[in-house]
Amino acid sequence: MDIKYFDNAATTKVSKEVLEEMIKYFSEEYGNPSSMYTIGRSAKKAIEKARKKVAELINCEPREIIFTAGGSESDNTAIKGIANQLKNKGNHIITSKIEHHAIIESCKSLEEQGFKITYLNVNKEGYIDLTQLEKEITNKTILISIMAANNEIGTIQPIKEISKIAKEKNILFHTDAVQAVGNIPIDVKEMGIDMLSLSGHKIHAPKGIGALYVKEGIKFKRFIDGGHQEKNRRAGTENVAGIIGLGKACQIAKENLEQHMIALEQLRDYYISQVEKNIQGVILNGTLKNRLPGNANISFKDIDGEALLLELDQKGICASSGSACTAGESTPSHVLKAIGLDDSIANGAVRISFSEENTKEDVDYLVKSLMEIVESLRQKS
C-alpha cells in the first residue's frame, strides 16, 4: 500500500541530504568529542560547525546553543533550570493552558516543590490575552514561557509583544519553538527571546536530538549532571551524528524557508477549502490568519476521531487527533478544551500537517477518503 503521510507535526522523515551528512559519523568519524586524539578532535570540530548552522537559523551566537536530546529535554531544562537558579528571587512562573506537555508537566512538578504557576487562558482561536498576562505578573514572577506556535491547532502567538512585556518587568522569556523553527521565521534577537527550545525530528533531522538557545549571560541550573560537555551546561557524551544531522537540517531550512512556507500554505489552504466544500458539519480549529503554514486541525461533527483515524489508516493515510505525546489518552485534547470546544466536537478533531513531499493529488485522495469515511461513520451512528 502506498502510504500518504500527513502527520509531520508529530515527526518528519529524515531527509536524504541530512542522512548522507550523518552516515560517516556512525562508522568512520566515530571518535568521542572529548578525546584528545585525531578522530575525537575531528568530531568536536564537526559539532562546532553544526552549532553554527543551528545558530544561523534563529540568528544567535553559536556559543548560545546547547545541544540536548530533543524538545522535551530543552523545555525541562529551561523551566526547571531557571526556577532553581532564581528561586531566591521569586517562585512564580507564567505559562498558558495550551502548552506542550513538556512545559505543563514541568510546571506541575515545580508546583509540588512550592512554586506558583499561572496558566493563562486562550481565546477560541488559541491566542493568549496580553492584558491578562500583564495583570498576572507579580514581584515574584521569574519566568514567562509561551510557545511560539501551537502543535495541535497551529496558532502563532504574538511573541514580540509577549517579550516586550517580559522585558519591561525584567522577567526572563522562554518559548517552546519546536513547531515554529524551520516553518516560520524565528529571529531571537529581533523577537527579544531569552531562551528557546527546538527539536530535530520536526525539521527532517533524526529523533533524539534538539537544542536549547540561552541568551549569553543567563545562568540556569543544569538539568543533567555528569561531565563537563556543552561548556558544563549539559552533561553526557554528545550525540555526534544527531548533532551533524540537526545542523544540516537547520542549514536546509534556512535556505528554503520562503519556498517551504509557500508550498505548505498552498497545500493547507487547498485541503481546508476542499473539506469545507465537500463535507458538511466541519469546524476549523484555530485561526487561518496567523497559523503554521502546514497545519490544519478540523473537527468533524458527530464523528469519533479515533474511529476516523483508524479508517484513514486502512486507506494508507497517516494523520492524528493531536499531539503524538498524548496518543492513547481517552480524554479530549487539553488544547481543544482550552479554546472552548465541548467534548463531542473535540473528540472529532483530526490534525493534518503537511511537508513538501505531499502533493495536490495526495490531498485529493485524502479528501475523497474523508468524504467516504465520514459518510459511513455518520450512517452507522
Residues designated catalytic: 325
| DSSP-derived secondary structure letter, 63 | G
CB-based contacts of 375: which residues, under 8 Å, 6+ apart?
Answer: none
What is the distance between the alpha carbons of residues 119 and 128, in angstroms, rounded to a whole number? Answer: 10
Decide: 371 and 279 in contact? Cβ < 8 Å.
yes
What is the distance between the alpha carbons of residues 128 and 118, in angstroms, rounded to a whole number? Answer: 12
Residue matched to cell numbers 549532571: 225
Q: Residue 322: phi, psi to the nearest 5?
A: 170, -145
HSE-up of residue 232 (Cα within 13 Å, Cβ side): 3
What is the distance between the alpha carbons of residues 379 and 349, in angstroms, rounded to a whole number? Answer: 18
Phi-psi region of 74 (alpha: psi -120 to 50; beta: other; left: phi over 0): alpha
Question: Which has the closest alpha carbon to 209: 14, 357, 373?
Answer: 14
**How far are the Cα atoms of 106, 177, 367 from residue 100, in angstroms, in the given order?**
10, 10, 28
Decide: 190 and 334 in contact? Cβ < 8 Å.
no
Helix H or strand E encompassing 54 = helix 38-58
What is the distance between the alpha carbons of residues 249 and 259, in angstroms, rounded to a whole number? Answer: 15
